[in-house]
A and B are shown apart, each in its own frame.
Chain A
Amino acid sequence: MKYIFRVERITKSSNSRTFLILILSVFGGLLLSSLVFLFKGISPFLSLQKIMVGSFGSLYGIKETITKAIPLLLIGGGLSIAFHGKFWNIGAEGQILFGAIGATWVALYLGPGMESYIIIPLLFLSGFIFGAIYGIIPALLKTRFRINETIITLMLNYIAAEFVQFLVFGPWKGKTQYGFPYTDNFPQSATLPLIPGSRIHYISLLVGIFITLLAWFILNKTKFGYEVKVMGENPDAGKYAGINFTKTTIWIMVLSGGFAGLAGVGEVAGIHHHLSYPASISSGYGFTAIIVTWLARLNPIYIIFSSLFFGGILVGGDAIQTSLALPAATVNVFNGLILFSLIIGGFFQDYKIRLHHETRKL
């Protein structure tokens, strides 16, 4: 007789299990980070306290958390549609940047002298179109030439980043920016209003909540959503049912790219007020949103909560950097460990490990 560990698939997952796993994973991540803090000679209790206060435990923290949740909400809504169709869009970073370019173009060339209530909808419209066009490229490459979308969307991120660099160092470099690689600032009418005393550009927040609800509606109530799910879950059955893959794939990326583009609009028109270094515009939101979407199990409604949660983690990391004078890398380690344990937690949503003892017989 011997004992063995056996991994078993869970056929039915319950919400309570999901929630418990989430809590335990975060706890595990905090425990791991505590070890890192110990090595740095800082009391883990103090640092955890700072993280909590910095993210959810103070008014300032909550405001910042919401600010960071806005782009995650927008991108996550689009990714949930793409991932339901098994289109692995990891190019949201690039789509954010193109949305930002679209908004900047409208703000700088049409903005001056135009009223807010006209220019702001135009910003969002332009950002959506730019993001969508950038999203359609991998969709076409996949459907026409069967090129793997994961690689293409990833590569397009770098192209978008270089293009923004080119713009801010070259043709769009602002005359009023003292030589910094920024575009000129948007005219006042083309900036998004903030909730006083915070950086929450509430129009984007409302758009973000609307987008997640819309994504839910699309997936669950429309013919297009049905096609996306059938195509994603079983392409052979989709072919047998006569679904047009090319058309469906392109629409998936119009929405996913377009929504990411809206996030780019929020960042330039709400926070920065000009286009600048690509890394400071997209700031990794496009990648973080992938985790946000997975954590929500591709359900757009849950994305509202998971994006707030991740907003908090990003802010909490920033908080210890300033209050405990830790190097920036420590924050990355902290964020990384939380993600790491969440991903491990994700495994336990589908599998359980059981200890068996088996008697050898034929």
Chain B
Amino acid sequence: MTIQKLELDHITKRFSNITANQDISIEINAGEIVALLGENGAGKTTLMNVLFGIVRPESGLILINNKPVTITNPSIASQYGIGMIHQHFMLIQTHTVVENIALGMQNVPFFLPEKKVKKKIVSFTNQYGFSLNPDAKIWQLSAGEQQRVEIVKVLMQGAQVLILDEPTSVLTPGEVKDLFHIIRKMKQEGKAIIFITHKLDEIMEISDRVIVLRRGKVVGEKKTNQTNVKELATMMVGKDILYQVKKDKVQSGKTLLEAKSVYIRDDRMLSSVNNLSFSIKEREIFGIAGVSGNGQRELIEGISGLRKIEKGTIFLEKVNITNQSAKHIYEMGISHIPEERIRYGVVSNLPISDNIVLKEYDKKPFSKKGLMNQTAIDCFSKKIVSEFNVFTPSVRSLAKNLSGGNIQKLILGREITGSSKFIIASHPTYGLDISSTQYIWEQLIQKRNEGSSILLVSEDLEEIFTLSDRIAVMYEGRFMGVVAFDSISKEDIGLMMAGSKQIPIECWS
């Protein structure tokens, strides 16, 4: 069956109390490249997971050539001719290219499979004009080459609709060019391509049509040649104000934290933070906006002592804290609300009380002479739980029984109670409902009014604008500019996040 038209019709998908997709309808035709644009958490990936059969929607239909189809798992999706290239490659590192490709094939010949699969790979790569060594092991390949393996794998399964989930996020500029060449070739052959991204320049370059998602809804659809980067940025970040939080202007004090020419590498040992310098004052919220993966995470881990700083120095009140242990840095007065709250912030299988003293367990009064003082721990925990509205029957119940919002309130309570002068808040309200979000914002602003400084990292521009006194936009390990929150528009920030606009360094505030 050839796919002429693929439709998603009124798809709604909820995860507990969050609506990831609300009544979304889109269609795509053969020989067309459609870009799906939106910030993280806008619902792009969920929608594609629905199409690919990874999650099942509450309501809505998938139609191929106007006929409804049932897709309950990825193998059914690929039987219909739908293929997905995931952002994180699903390849077996120690196997060769041929072996990985053969793994996904339906009818591998029983005799001499390797020779025949190899032949097929070569004919495919010739057809699309690139080279791929079938005998190379996956771990020997660059990210771009691995992506080509994924593409060949999906094409050889007979895919006619290809979903590419942020395909350029791991590529070098040269590799991006090659990828676009392959995508155009696929279009010529009549394949339909769904290109998920939040990079505006790429959309302008490659797509025929753009669909913009925000907060789980379609907020706009345009032919690419009838729109521009600015309009798309506006649609992506939106203008709606959902929350009301009062932020009085306060006079900021002396410099508290200073970073000088900092370089940090990521887990793959690639340069991630490049020569970054900035300073943050007392009574100031310094917001770093930017799409995830542009070095924010590495920067935060570097400051809080969880990751090595390759070059450069960080001072807290003129004391050099570069590459000190996480414990020492915490004791110096830097607390940290981590990005992945379940992974770093709490120990799910331990009681709430044990989690509340996670950073202070070895200090008086919580432990003395090697023994834990349960009475003091419980007493303090009850105080935090009631002060920060953590909803739980008891401080002795396990942290895993808390909802996301309550876990975040617990972490917030733990990190901002006490003497910390400097608070790092990384995506503090990601995935939380309105009331928890509002509460956490109010608490952070209050902490700033009391004299602390806060480093806020977020992708949510609403959050950045509501809280920050100064905003920096991070892109590929550098700042595209640092500005006062009331001297720039959301659209300009959106452009800077996409790397399409830069403010000269003389104009930084």
A223 adjacent to B371 (CB under 8 Å):
yes
* CB-contact partner of A222 in B56, B61, B370, under 8 A: B370
A362 adjacent to B358 (CB under 8 Å):
no
In the complex, what distance in Å separates the CA atom of A362 from the CA atom of B327? Answer: 51
B306 adjacent to A223 (CB under 8 Å):
no
A362 in contact with B62 given A223-B371, A240-B344 (CB within 8 Å): yes
A221 adjacent to B325 (CB under 8 Å):
no
Contact with A along B43-72 (1 / 0, CB 8 A): 000000000000011001110000010111
Q: Which residues of A contact B370 (CB under 8 A)?
A: 222-224
Contact with A along B92-108 (1 / 0, CB 8 A): 00000000000000000
Min CB gap B354→A, angstroms: 7
A-binding segment of B211-219, B345-353, B436-444:
B345-353
A-binding segment of B178-186, B315-323, B359-367, B480-488:
B359-367
A221 adjacent to B56 (CB under 8 Å):
no
Min CB gap A246→B, angstroms: 12
A237 adjacent to B326 (CB under 8 Å):
no
Min CB gap B298→A, angstroms: 15
Write the chain A residue with the least CB distance to B354. A226
Contact with A along B244-271 (1 / 0, CB 8 A): 0000000000000000000000000000
B348 adjacent to A226 (CB under 8 Å):
no
A234 in contact with B348 given A222-B370, A223-B371, A240-B306 (CB within 8 Å): yes
Min CB gap B345→A, angstroms: 7
A239 adjacent to B358 (CB under 8 Å):
no
Q: Tell me how many residues of B have a C-beta within 8 Å of chain A.
A: 36
B372 adjacent to A222 (CB under 8 Å):
yes
Min CB gap B424→A, angstroms: 12
Min CB gap A240→B, angstroms: 5
Q: Judge whether B336 is part of the interface by a CB distance below 8 angstroms.
A: yes
Instruction: List which A165-211 residues lie within 8 A (CB) of chain B.
Output: none
Q: Which residues of A contact B306 (CB under 8 A)?
A: 239-240
Contact with B along A212-248 (1 / 0, CB 8 A): 0000000001111111011001101111111000000
In the complex, what distance in Å separates the CA atom of A222 from the CA atom of B369? Answer: 9
A222 in contact with B345 given A240-B336, A362-B62, A362-B70 (CB within 8 Å): no
Min CB gap A131→B, angstroms: 22
B60 adjacent to A234 (CB under 8 Å):
no
The listed residue with most A CB atoms (<10 A of its CB), out of B61, B347, B350, B354, is B347
A240 adjacent to B326 (CB under 8 Å):
yes
Min CB gap B323→A, angstroms: 14
A237 in contact with B345 given A229-B350, A242-B325, A362-B70 (CB within 8 Å): yes
Q: Which residues of B contact A241 (CB under 8 A)?
A: 326-327, 358-359, 361
Q: Judge whether B405 is part of the interface by a CB distance below 8 angstroms.
A: no
A240 in contact with B338 given A223-B362, A224-B370, A226-B354 (CB within 8 Å): yes
B372 adjacent to A221 (CB under 8 Å):
yes
Contact with B along A333-362 (1 / 0, CB 8 A): 000000000000000000000000000111
In the complex, what distance in Å separates the CA atom of A239 from the CA atom of B330? Answer: 12
Q: Judge whether B343 is part of the interface by a CB distance below 8 angstroms.
A: yes
The listed residue with most A CB atoms (<10 A of its CB), out of B56, B71, B362, B374, is B362
In the complex, what distance in Å separates the CA atom of A238 from the CA atom of B328? Answer: 14
In the complex, what distance in Å separates the CA atom of A238 from the CA atom of B349? Answer: 13
Instruction: List which B348-404 residues lie within 8 A (CB) of chain A.
Output: 348-350, 354, 358-359, 361-362, 367, 370-372, 374, 401
Write the chain A residue with the least CB distance to B374. A221
B326 adjacent to A360 (CB under 8 Å):
no
* CB-contact partner of B358 in A224, A230, A360, under 8 A: A230
B361 adjacent to A233 (CB under 8 Å):
no
B62 adjacent to A230 (CB under 8 Å):
no
In the complex, what distance in Å separates the CA atom of A230 from the CA atom of B346? Answer: 9
In the complex, what distance in Å separates the CA atom of A87 from the CA atom of B370? Answer: 22
Write the chain B residue with the least CB distance to A240. B344
Min CB gap A103→B, angstroms: 29
Q: Which residues of A contact B361 (CB under 8 A)?
A: 223, 226-227, 241
Contact with A along B321-342 (1 / 0, CB 8 A): 0000111101000001010000
The listed residue with most B CB atoms (<10 A of its CB), out of A229, A233, A241, is A241
In the complex, what distance in Å separates the CA atom of A238 from the CA atom of B347? Answer: 9
In the complex, what distance in Å separates the CA atom of A233 from the CA atom of B306? Answer: 19
Q: Which residues of B contact A229 (CB under 8 A)?
A: 347, 350, 354
In the complex, what distance in Å separates the CA atom of A229 from the CA atom of B348? Answer: 11
In the complex, what distance in Å separates the CA atom of A233 from the CA atom of B347? Answer: 6
B327 adjacent to A233 (CB under 8 Å):
no
Q: Which residues of B contact A236 (CB under 8 A)?
A: 343-344
Q: Which residues of A contact B62 (CB under 8 A)?
A: 362
In the complex, what distance in Å separates the CA atom of A227 from the CA atom of B359? Answer: 11
Min CB gap A134→B, angstroms: 25
B347 adjacent to A230 (CB under 8 Å):
yes
A233 in contact with B343 given A222-B370, A226-B354, A242-B326 (CB within 8 Å): no
A362 adjacent to B354 (CB under 8 Å):
no
Q: Which residues of A contact B57 (CB under 8 A)?
A: 362
Write the chain A residue with the least CB distance to B69. A362
Instruction: List which A140-183 residues lie within 8 A (CB) of chain B.
Output: none
Q: Which residues of A contact B358 (CB under 8 A)?
A: 230, 237, 240-241
In the complex, what distance in Å separates the CA atom of A19 from the CA atom of B417? Answer: 43
A240 adjacent to B350 (CB under 8 Å):
no
In the complex, what distance in Å separates the CA atom of A252 from the CA atom of B372? Answer: 18
The listed residue with most B CB atoms (<10 A of its CB), out of A225, A238, A240, is A240
Contact with B along A240-261 (1 / 0, CB 8 A): 1110000000000000000000
Min CB gap A222→B, angstroms: 6
In the complex, what distance in Å separates the CA atom of A236 from the CA atom of B330? Answer: 16
In the complex, what distance in Å separates the CA atom of A233 from the CA atom of B362? Answer: 18
B70 adjacent to A223 (CB under 8 Å):
no
What are 12 A-B residue pairs whose CB atoms fall within 8 Å in the complex?
A221-B371, A222-B370, A222-B372, A225-B372, A226-B367, A226-B372, A227-B361, A233-B347, A233-B349, A237-B344, A237-B347, A360-B72
5 new A-B contacts, CB < 8 A, other than A226-B361, A229-B354, are A221-B371, A229-B347, A234-B346, A240-B326, A362-B56
